[in-house]
Chain A
């Protein structure tokens, strides 16, 4: 099943992945993905009808706790990692016109 990855698909996946690829990177990504998917297609040999998808190996359920704050404020330490900050906030480019 060759050429399933069209230019449009790479463009679309780039949008989903929030990655900006150069023309050269796009070509490489097309090739890599094509090869990986061809390889992954071996899974189609397996009859999985009647098998439930397993996301976790143990039957884990939602874990609830009382909504009590246990960590301290620590906002200064957190903000210390900000690429750009403004006072007590993370600064980002303007998002609305």
Chain B
């Protein structure tokens, strides 16, 4: 038995049975990190010492019968925009290069209560702004399926680390597709729950009305198990919702008989890669053979989702990111003159180009004279998009869509054209605007050997339906893992190389070992 190949729930069972110790599980993950991290670079921070210390603690609690859950002792990783007490949290930005939170995010805390062992913090697009993980200040993450391709983003580090078997599962966050799109690119299962299902307390905010934390895992079962652990009403997040039922593992059944599945025609037109289109429509057909009622329909308003999303997300970002000013934490520039100059210099030197671009756009659309024309217009569009989904869900249990228009692009091919990069979110952003749950599940690979992800979207609070559909899709094929023995790296992101600096590491913090850069 090779421990690293196990699913999180599979490993959890072996740990409970005493077949594998927590320390052995941590050793297996760290050995894989040693093996592949130099190529993949999924992590910003690796906390070996903390992981071993925690492993011994958890082992003891398991032996005392105090930790009996499915995730007890399972090593995992956390996206670097979730606060972890005492462990560096950078948001992959220079401006937080030395930030050590004094508290832990609620979602992470809930996993710790279940006995999770945190291996480290995963790389991401700076402040979750990007679709490729190339905007990270600490260098890009590479796709384990082909090291010359991006892992997607912004949760690219989490998805790549799970695919490369450096951890058994990870947490990500999804503002416009940041869990589902990289999960599709890396051939793993990633889920964005209904807005408000998982507390955002301790998540460093990007677009607060859109942000949601969710699981990244090797299979649908793990996804459901992790969601059960992290979903809960939290008084510390005023947008947190109390759910009637949290039994997300109840519908892990291979059964779609009578399920009504809608295929939005407008998601399968121009711009969608033909191989992805065929693979997803074939999968829908297979679901039909298993008894689902599959039907095409017009969702409408598709082309308005991205412009509305960028107005709203940038507006919220410009407000949320005003807290980074060099006063209470993070980077402070040298040689400033007075308070305002200190703010400006610290922010200008601390933020990368994509973050500045969105703060500028957000400040513009919120400025007087433009607020109605842009910001309020986008909020009205959002209401119409929500209505379109409401109408669709009167007829369908779930909607099937691509997760992205292409498979993972090559490194360096996206950043020079921001608008083109934004368009790659076309199938995912509407789900955030409407607050819906969505899951990406692997459905094979294209002719280049890169994974294809299928997105299953549900109505608000209908996670159980998408889990059931995803579980059925997953049962149709064997789990595929990337082959990492063949080193094919020949490329460094040109945007990064042009910046003329070495790949930097975050500031050293006592007891915390950094990733392989």
On A, residues with C-beta under 8 Å from B are 9, 12-14, 16-21, 25, 29, 32-33, 35-37, 39-46, 48, 51-58, 60, 62-63, 65, 71, 74, 77-78, 80-84, 90, 92-95
Give the contacting residue for B384; candidates A41, A48, A77, A84; CB below 8 A.
A48
Q: Once the chains are docked, how many angstroms separate the CA of A42 from the CA of B2? A: 53
Q: Once the chains are docked, how many angstroms separate the CA of A93 from the CA of B14? A: 57
A92 touches B384 (CB 8 A): no
Candidate in A35, A41, A53, A82 with the most chain B CB atoms within 10 angstroms: A53
Known A13-B363, A13-B364, A35-B419; contact A58-B196, beta-carbon cutoff 8 A: yes
Give the contacting residue for A18; candidates B196, B304, B325; CB below 8 A.
B325
Q: Once the chains are docked, how many angstroms separate the CA of A2 from the CA of B366? A: 20
Q: Once the chains are docked, how many angstroms separate the CA of A35 from the CA of B363? A: 16
A13 touches B360 (CB 8 A): yes
B343 touches A18 (CB 8 A): yes
Known A21-B348, A83-B329; contact A40-B374, beta-carbon cutoff 8 A: yes
Q: How near does chain B come to A89, taking the closest CB pair, in angstroms?
A: 11
12 extra A-B contacts, CB within 8 A, seeds A39-B307, A81-B98: A13-B363, A19-B359, A29-B360, A35-B419, A43-B381, A45-B304, A54-B379, A54-B386, A57-B209, A60-B238, A81-B329, A83-B331
Enumerate B451-485 residues with CB–CB distance to A below 8 Å: 460
Residues of A within 8 A of B339 (CB): 92-95
Give the contacting residue for A53; candidates B332, B344, B379, B418; CB below 8 A.
B379
For this complex, 17 residue pairs linking A to B, each with C-beta atoms less than 8 Å apart, are A13-B363, A14-B360, A17-B356, A18-B325, A18-B340, A19-B351, A20-B348, A40-B378, A48-B384, A51-B380, A53-B376, A55-B379, A57-B434, A58-B241, A81-B329, A84-B332, A90-B328
Residue of B nearest to A40 (CB): B307
Q: Once the chains are docked, how many angstroms separate the CA of A68 from the CA of B71? A: 34
B380 touches A48 (CB 8 A): yes
Residue of B nearest to A17 (CB): B363
Contact string against A for B residues 329-349, beta-carbon threshold 8 Å, 1 for contact and 0 otherwise? 111100011111111110110
On B, residues with C-beta under 8 Å from A are 98-100, 102-103, 195-196, 209, 235, 238-239, 241, 301, 303-304, 307-308, 310-311, 318, 322, 325-332, 336-345, 347-348, 351, 356-357, 359-364, 366-367, 374, 376-384, 386, 418-419, 433-435, 460
Residues of B within 8 A of A56 (CB): 209, 239
B342 touches A36 (CB 8 A): no
A57 touches B435 (CB 8 A): yes
Q: How near does chain B come to A16, taking the closest CB pair, in angstroms?
A: 4
Residue of A nearest to B311 (CB): A40
A19 touches B360 (CB 8 A): yes
Give the contacting residue for A54; candidates B328, B382, B460; CB below 8 A.
B382
Q: Once the chains are docked, how many angstroms separate the CA of A41 from the CA of B307? A: 8
Candidate in A18, A82, A90 with the most chain B CB atoms within 10 angstroms: A18
Q: Once the chains are docked, how many angstroms separate the CA of A65 from the CA of B384? A: 33
Known A43-B308, A60-B239, A77-B102; contact A17-B359, beta-carbon cutoff 8 A: yes
Residues of B within 8 A of A33 (CB): 360-361, 364
Q: Once the chains are docked, how many angstroms separate the CA of A27 from the CA of B166? A: 42
Residue of A nearest to B308 (CB): A43
Residues of A within 8 A of B418 (CB): 32, 36
Q: Once the chains are docked, how many angstroms separate the CA of A37 from the CA of B307? A: 9
B102 touches A74 (CB 8 A): yes
Q: Once the chains are docked, how many angstroms separate the CA of A78 from the CA of B330? A: 12
B377 touches A43 (CB 8 A): yes
Q: Once the chains are docked, how many angstroms separate the CA of A39 from the CA of B420? A: 11
Give the contacting residue for B357; candidates A20, A32, A43, A77; CB below 8 A.
A32
B377 touches A58 (CB 8 A): no
B460 touches A57 (CB 8 A): yes
Cβ-closest 6 pairs across A and B: A53-B379, A57-B435, A83-B332, A77-B102, A81-B329, A48-B380
B310 touches A40 (CB 8 A): yes
Q: How near does chain A come to B231, taking the closest CB pair, in angstroms?
A: 15
Q: How near does chain B come to A22, taking the closest CB pair, in angstroms?
A: 9
Known A14-B360, A18-B325; contact A54-B332, beta-carbon cutoff 8 A: no
Residue of A nearest to B461 (CB): A58
Q: How near does chain B come to A18, taking the closest CB pair, in angstroms?
A: 5
Q: Once the chains are docked, how many angstroms separate the CA of A53 from the CA of B384? A: 9
Q: How near does chain A come to B316, taking the closest CB pair, in angstroms?
A: 10
Residues of B within 8 A of A25 (CB): 356
Known A13-B360, A13-B364, A19-B344; contact A83-B102, beta-carbon cutoff 8 A: no
